[in-house]
Amino acid sequence: MLELQRLTKRYRGIPAIQDVSFGLQAGEIVGYLGPNGSGKSTTVKIITGILQPNDGRVLFEGKDILEDLVGFRAAFGYVPEEAHVYTYLTGLEYLQLVGRLRGMQERLIELKATELLKLLALESWRHSPIALYSKGMKQRVLIAAALMHDPKLLVFDEPLSGLDVVTARLFKDLLQELAAQGKAILYISHVLEVVEQICDRVIVISRGRIVADAAPGELTKLMELPNLERVFAQLVQQQDTRAVAREMVEVMRVTHA
């Protein structure tokens, strides 16, 4: 459904991502992992059409997304990591705005917004300004907003941040249900246990390059490691966190310069 072909993006000559290629099929949940600064957001910004690559292209159902960005966005739902929502709007008004921007019929907007807010336990808050919502409640509004127009492709950026245990479980079940309905899902997260549980495939990016693309089970077997966390640490050669933590505490405890 979605095909990234040899994407390269440079900021002032410095590559943020290089030669990034992967595909996403209908019904698939694919985890996109990488340490801070590895190029995940850059990749997502290119997929959303906000940013243009220096090289390479993104195909949706065989067509370059830049040829028909409006058509592509109609089939695309995105839940961003940070909630840049209009906080003076109420939850219901925000969903109405999103629905109108998507060109949906008023009656359909009303029905879907009301039902989704109810299912996400926000019914009693629907007439309150989003400014009063907690982080998790804002996150739930964003999830509802991404589902309103029944997109074929969904990108979730760190979706569990701020969600309580029950909502996080609901969200995981929702992802599986969406995949079962044939949606293609790209799931960006640092929570490796969750990625291991729900993703069919995991793509690891390090310093702008893809270093792995396989099922979580295959990765752990191939690298003879017990879990995805160890695979990830090995692939991206992360620092010795214990040693750094010890040094930080030592610096903290210095009393004389």
Ligand X SMILES: Nc1ncnc2c1ncn2[C@@H]1O[C@H](COP(=O)(O)OP(=O)(O)OP(=O)(O)O)[C@@H](O)[C@H]1O
Q: What is the full DSSP assignment across 7-76?
A: EEEEETTEEEEEEEEEEE-TT-EEEEE--TTSSHHHHHHHHHTSS--SEEEEEETTEEGGGSHHHHHHTE
CA dist., res. 221 & res. 196, Å (int): 13
Establish if 84 lies at the interface with ligand X (CB under 6 A).
no
Establish if 88 lies at the interface with ligand X (CB under 6 A).
no
Residue 64 has phi, psi (to 5 degrees) of -60, 125
Establish if 36 lies at the interface with ligand X (CB under 6 A).
yes
Establish if 37 lies at the interface with ligand X (CB under 6 A).
yes
Count of residues of this chain found to bind ligand X when the rule CB under 6 A is applied: 10
**Cα separations (Å) of 96 from 35, 106, 122?**
36, 8, 15
Select the span of 31-39, 64-72, 223-231, 236-244 touching ligand X (CB under 6 A). 31-39
Establish if 38 lies at the interface with ligand X (CB under 6 A).
yes
State the nearest-atom distance from the C-beta of 108 to ligand X, in Å. 34
Q: Single out the residue of 24, 31, 42, 185 in contact with ligand X (rule: CB under 6 A).
A: 42
* Residue that is written with structure tokens 């109810």 in the block: 118
Establish if 40 lies at the interface with ligand X (CB under 6 A).
yes
Q: Which is nearer to ligand X, 3 or 158 (CB)?
A: 158
Establish if 149 lies at the interface with ligand X (CB under 6 A).
no
Establish if 183 lies at the interface with ligand X (CB under 6 A).
no
State the nearest-atom distance from the C-beta of 35 to ligand X, in Å. 7
Which residues touch 185 (CB under 8 Å, ≥6 apart)?
24, 28, 29, 30, 153, 154, 155, 156, 175, 178, 179
Q: Single out the residue of 20, 22, 33, 41 in contact with ligand X (rule: CB under 6 A).
A: 41
Establish if 34 lies at the interface with ligand X (CB under 6 A).
yes
| Cβ neighbours around 151 below 10 Å, total | 19
Q: Single out the residue of 16, 92, 109, 210 in contact with ligand X (rule: CB under 6 A).
A: 16
137 in the Ramachandran plot: left (φ > 0), alpha (ψ -120 to 50) or beta? Answer: alpha
Establish if 13 lies at the interface with ligand X (CB under 6 A).
no
Select the span of 21-29, 36-44, 216-224, 244-252 touching ligand X (CB under 6 A). 36-44
Sites of contact with ligand X (CB under 6 A): 11, 16, 34, 36-42
